[in-house]
Chain A
Amino acid sequence: MSNSLKKRKAKDIIAAVFARSFLIFIIFLALLIIFGLFLKARPILSIVSLPELLFSSSWHPMKNEFGLFPFIIGTIEVTLLAMIIALPICMLTSIYLSEYAKRRFREISRFFIDILAGIPSVVYGLCGILVVVPFVEFTGELIGIQTTGYSLLAGGIVLAVMVIPFIVSISMEVLRMVPEPYRESALALGATRWETVKYVILKKARSGLIAATVLGFARAFGETMAVLMVVGNVAQVPKSVFDAAYPLPALIANNYGEVMSIPLYDAALMSAALILMLIVTIFSLTAHYALLKLGKTI
């Protein structure tokens, strides 16, 4: 074997070894985080049973009462509300961009959507405080409900605006993946654009759109900063959308490092983090599964 060939082979081996090691490191990191959270959360179970932790509404760390239910409900409700607001907007926007808009307009729009996606969370939070919170307060007054404006609804609106660019860009890509001849076939039968979308494109793209939605959900679940700034942060189960709520990420961000003198507070927050992480992981896995199915149907 010549010297230069030996050199080339050695480089190849070194590159492969490094690439593989980094990959293993990243996988290991993910497992380490889950395992670490689990270890740190476990002590809480010595004084509170798991059902109590998940379903009790009394959150009094001083009295060793760690019911996470209001926070879990807060997380789910803010996320659901955001998705209810965001989904119709996202679907119609991506349908318009993919099926109706001219290429140039689509590209310009994509640029603006990318800008929207790049706005830092804290800026969304500020806009929420300046615009959405007063809007919610005003709306509450109009229909005779006492509210500060810092509420589930404000959190839902801000979160919706934050996930819209994300869902729109994925949905648009999914719709563009439907092969052109399907459009041709339906249009050639004299279908209108909307009929083509409704009966053909949406059916072909269904699992991909579900994946886009689920990924949007997963993102919304974990979003902290902007929601924390407008949602009110009161440990209660909200009775209406005008009530304040307290989602899990906000609980962790607000309290960790401050009240560590209270025994087991730390473990309670860790179990909150673990629950949050599990919810997001389940959603992400669902999305991956849906995308795999999409690959098979198209």
Chain B
Amino acid sequence: MSRIKIKQLSISYGNHQVLKNVSLDIPDRQIIAVIGPSGCGKTTLLKSMNRLLDLNEDVAVKGEIFIDGENIYRPDIDVTALRKRVGFLPQHPYPLPMSIFDNVAFGPKIHGLDISSTPAVSGAQEETGKKEGMRRFVEHYLSLAGLWDEVKDRLHSPAAKLSIGQQQRLALARVLSIEPEIILADEPTSALDPISAKLVETQFKILKQDYTIIFVTHILRQAKRLADYIIFLYMGDLVEHATAGQFFSEPRDEKTRAYITGEIS
């Protein structure tokens, strides 16, 4: 089963073509790693899936991406609604300029999400009131991101005061709070120390039961550790995509083999 289907996707920045005619189906509820050397189009592929590429004026997108049967590049698509379904975790966490609590409450607030119907609060709101409902909601997602215990005593201090590893998990909580179905992550651990990186990886493994997680990495070992499915890009071409087992043990393409063994990087 696949909810994301990419059809003949070509993307260029000005005259520079970054992705060349990529077609593939992305499996559901797994961790998918997009790997390849620097500048091969990994991040571009990722950002094309929630139209974050739109922010760049020079970008030209050809082809189609279907999510649940709907082409997200149709002109009449509601980009805001799309981004609520397809969350994005950036490479560097940029906490919104507000408190830890408000960082998590921000998404539901702007979407006018009825938090009483969410699994985090589930009907408890009648007894406890709206404020307590939101508090439980924030607690739920901070816990899900593995951050709650570290911040529960200073929820209302500025998010910028957290360590970078904590900020990245806050960014994860922020993404989860809008209840997306798909999470895109752009080298989510590259800016982190090994311990924080491990924490984020652990959360990913827990989260894949409920979410499809697509992450970009240039660390082969990380892809091996985490991913169920691998997409390998090289210089803008989709070289090979397969389950992790098959990809690493019996690569079909010569370039894949060379990349895995470290002959090319």
Give the B-binding residues of A (Cβ under 8 A). Answer: 102-103, 179-192, 195, 199-200, 203-204
**Nearest Cβ on chain B to A199's Cβ, whole angstroms:** 7
**Nearest Cβ on chain B to A102's Cβ, whole angstroms:** 6
Bound CA span A179–B93, Å:
12
- A188 near B87: Cβ-Cβ < 8 Å: yes
- B97 near A195: Cβ-Cβ < 8 Å: no
| B255 on the A face (CB < 8 A) | no
| B57 on the A face (CB < 8 A) | yes
Q: List residues 52-83 of chain B with CB under 8 A from any CB of chain A.
A: 52, 55, 57, 80-81, 83
- Given A185-B96, A185-B174, A188-B175, 14 additional A-B pairs, CB 8 A: A182-B94, A182-B97, A184-B55, A184-B88, A184-B94, A188-B90, A189-B107, A189-B178, A190-B81, A190-B83, A191-B80, A192-B110, A203-B97, A203-B98
- A188 near B88: Cβ-Cβ < 8 Å: yes
By secondary structure, the A interface counts as helix
- A187 near B83: Cβ-Cβ < 8 Å: yes
Q: List residues 85-112 of chain B with CB under 8 A from any CB of chain A.
A: 87-88, 90, 92, 94, 96-98, 106-107, 110-111
Bound CA span A181–B93, Å:
9
| Per-position binary interface string of chain B over residues 20-58, scored 1 when its CB falls under 8 Å from any chain A CB and 0 otherwise | 000000000000000000000000000000101001010
- B110 near A184: Cβ-Cβ < 8 Å: no
Q: Which residue of chain A lies nearest to B177 when distances are taken between CB atoms in the complex?
A: A189
- A189 near B110: Cβ-Cβ < 8 Å: yes
| A–B Cβ pairs within 8 angstroms, 9 of them | A179-B94, A183-B55, A184-B52, A185-B171, A187-B83, A190-B81, A190-B83, A190-B178, A191-B106
**Pick from A181, A190, A203: contact of B110, CB under 8 Å:** A190
**Pick from A179, A192, A200: contact of B96, CB under 8 Å:** A200
With a cutoff of 8 Å between Cβ atoms, the chain A residues found around residue B98 in the complex are 199, 203
Bound CA span A22–B110, Å:
56
| Of listed B50, B88, B171, B175, residue having the most chain A CB within 10 A | B88
With a cutoff of 8 Å between Cβ atoms, the chain A residues found around residue B97 in the complex are 182, 200, 203-204
- A188 near B96: Cβ-Cβ < 8 Å: no
Q: List residues 149-187 of chain B with CB under 8 A from any CB of chain A.
A: 171, 174-175, 178
**Nearest Cβ on chain A to B43's Cβ, whole angstroms:** 11
**Pick from A179, A188, A195: contact of B52, CB under 8 Å:** A188
**Nearest Cβ on chain B to A14's Cβ, whole angstroms:** 47
With a cutoff of 8 Å between Cβ atoms, the chain B residues found around residue A190 in the complex are 80-81, 83-84, 107, 110-111, 178
- B178 near A186: Cβ-Cβ < 8 Å: no
**Pick from B81, B94, B111: contact of A185, CB under 8 Å:** B94
- A187 near B178: Cβ-Cβ < 8 Å: no
Bound CA span A245–B170, Å:
56
Q: Which residue of chain B lies nearest to A103 when distances are taken between CB atoms in the complex?
A: B57
Q: Which residue of chain A lies nearest to B81 when distances are taken between CB atoms in the complex?
A: A190
Bound CA span A103–B55, Å:
11
With a cutoff of 8 Å between Cβ atoms, the chain A residues found around residue B52 in the complex are 184, 187-188
Bound CA span A186–B106, Å:
9
Q: Using A188-B83, A189-B174 as known contacts, say yes or no to A182 and B107 having CB atoms under 8 A apart.
A: no
**Nearest Cβ on chain A to B52's Cβ, whole angstroms:** 6
Sorted from nearest, which 3 A-B pairs have the closest CB atoms? A188-B88, A190-B84, A203-B97
With a cutoff of 8 Å between Cβ atoms, the chain A residues found around residue B106 in the complex are 186, 189, 191, 199
With a cutoff of 8 Å between Cβ atoms, the chain A residues found around residue B92 in the complex are 181
With a cutoff of 8 Å between Cβ atoms, the chain B residues found around residue A200 in the complex are 96-97
With a cutoff of 8 Å between Cβ atoms, the chain A residues found around residue B84 in the complex are 189-190
- A192 near B55: Cβ-Cβ < 8 Å: no
With a cutoff of 8 Å between Cβ atoms, the chain B residues found around residue A192 in the complex are 80, 110
Q: Using A190-B107, A190-B110 as known contacts, say yes or no to A182 and B178 having CB atoms under 8 A apart.
A: no
Bound CA span A103–B178, Å:
31
- A189 near B94: Cβ-Cβ < 8 Å: no
Q: Which residue of chain A lies nearest to B94 when distances are taken between CB atoms in the complex?
A: A181
**Nearest Cβ on chain B to A83's Cβ, whole angstroms:** 26
Bound CA span A195–B94, Å:
16
With a cutoff of 8 Å between Cβ atoms, the chain B residues found around residue A182 in the complex are 94, 96-97
With a cutoff of 8 Å between Cβ atoms, the chain A residues found around residue B175 in the complex are 188-189
